[in-house]
Every structure is written in C-alpha cells, then in structure tokens.
Amino acid sequence: MAMFNPPHPGEILREDVIKELGLTVSEAAKRLGLTRVQLSRVLNEHAGISPDLAVRLERAGVSTARQWMALQSSYELWKAQQRQQPAVTSLAAHA
C-alpha cells in the first residue's frame, strides 16, 4: 500500500478556496453560516470537514460535498495508518 501524506482538507479550503477568492475568514464564515472560530478551527487543521460543512461548501459552489468528505476520509485513514495498531488476525480464519 502506498504511503503518502494527504493534505488536511482545511489546508485546501484555506489555500485554494478562501485565499484564492480573496475572502477574509470572517467573510467566508458568514457566507457558510459558521462562526469565525468554527471556520478557523478547520482552516488551522484543528477540526475536520464535517458532513454539514461539506454540504454548505457544495451549496456555496465549492466542489461537491462528496469530494470534501473524500478528502477528509483520506486524511483520517492516512493518520490511522500512521498510528500503532493492536495485533489483528483474520475474521475469516476458522479454528
């Protein structure tokens, strides 16, 4: 399995959307129906893209909700693969 470090979706939202559109965090938050603090947590990679935020981004014309959720899922799966996991055996193995 290829190991790569996908970007946090908040980084993509910050750099490729908000910065590119010349919006302030406050303006973007207002347009998305979030508080500045809520949006800042995502942009600073302290919180993920929730399904609700993904839907709001789609309604705001920024990609699709499914794409935002895929980015979040890829990021979280990669992080889980980096953590120590307990020993696991096959569920299909018969004694």
pTM above 0.85, yes or no: yes
Q: Which contiguous run of DSSP H or E holds residue 12? A: helix 9-12
Report the alpha-carbon distance of residue 68 to residue 60 in Å, rounded.
13
Domain ranges of the chain: 9-76
pLDDT digits (tens, 9 = 90+) for 55-84: 999 999 999 999 999 999 999 999 999 999
pLDDT at 93: 73
Q: Which two tokens stand for residue 70?
A: 């895929």
User: 9-76 has which fold?
Assistant: 434 Repressor (Amino-terminal Domain) (1.10.260)
Give me the chain's average pLDDT, please: 94
Give the pLDDT band (50/70/90) at residue 95: low
Query: Which candidate, 57, 54, 48, 56, places its Cα nearest to that of 66?
Result: 54
